[in-house]
Chain A
């Protein structure tokens, strides 16, 4: 069974710090990876997608992918209280299939 694991948290960081969110996956053949942010009572919002090993930066967000270690992470620089949310890691097992496998989410709390 394909699995995606995340630390459920809560992960607490002070305002201005770097928040590091981690995700591991079981299917070595997985091809594409996504980070979603979900505020309480709202639906998930796509933050980043990453397909190749290495880093991908978008504003304050950096996604890091290491397929050999089956590990993907999300770094949030200069964390703000508005970043407080649950972050979901999603893995597309293959680029022909259609269904994501979602992790359980990590709850991030940025303290002012």
Chain B
């Protein structure tokens, strides 16, 4: 139980293009999903928290117009990196919390984004 998937697992895109990353909870309903990014050998950095049906809450310093988050259903959240630049290259990881069984967050496998 508590499986979270992400797609794609790896993406390479050109500067200026947009990339959409999907996060799905496969066997539970996720009332809350979280988006993190992680640089090599660094810890997780929370970007935003999204609740189903409402606007995401972004952490300080994260540009909401650049990182668009949509949590349209209880099993799907998407992160769109708009007008990507090489400095956006990173490991993006989502996590999900069911809200009905404990406070654990379950992580997706991550998406490695490379912007050339």
Are A88 and B32 closer than 8 Å at their CB atoms? Answer: no
Q: Which of B46, B49, B103, B107 contacts A45 (CB 8 A)?
A: B107
Q: Is B44 an interface residue (CB 8 A)?
A: yes
**Known contacts A43-B110, A88-B44; A100/B105 CB under 8 A:** yes
**Known contacts A99-B46, A102-B43; A42/B110 CB under 8 A:** yes
Contact count band on A: 20 to 34
Within 8 A of A (CB), among B85-116: 93, 97, 102-110
Are B44 and A102 closer than 8 Å at their CB atoms? Answer: yes
Q: How many residues of B contact A (CB 8 A)?
A: 18
Are A49 and B102 closer than 8 Å at their CB atoms? Answer: yes
Are A44 and B44 closer than 8 Å at their CB atoms? Answer: yes
Classify the secondary structure of B's interface with A. loop
Q: What's the Cα separation between A100 and B97 when bound, in Å?
A: 11
Please list the residues of chain A having a beta carbon within 8 angstroms of any beta carbon in chain B: 32, 34, 36, 42-46, 49, 88, 90, 92, 95, 98-100, 102-105
Q: What's the Cα separation between A11 and B40 when bound, in Å?
A: 19
In the assembled complex, which residues on chain A have CB atoms less than 8 Å from the CB atom of B107?
A: 36, 43-46
Q: Is B67 an interface residue (CB 8 A)?
A: no
Are A49 and B106 closer than 8 Å at their CB atoms? Answer: no
Are A42 and B109 closer than 8 Å at their CB atoms? Answer: yes
Residue pairs across A and B with Cβ atoms less than 8 A apart, 22 shown, are: A32-B102, A32-B103, A34-B105, A42-B109, A43-B93, A43-B108, A45-B107, A46-B104, A49-B102, A49-B103, A49-B104, A88-B43, A88-B44, A90-B105, A92-B103, A95-B103, A98-B34, A98-B49, A98-B97, A100-B46, A100-B105, A103-B43
Q: What's the Cα separation between A102 and B45 when bound, in Å?
A: 9
B77 CB → nearest A CB, Å: 14
B45 nearest CB neighbor, chain A only: A102
Q: What's the Cα separation between A34 and B106 when bound, in Å?
A: 11
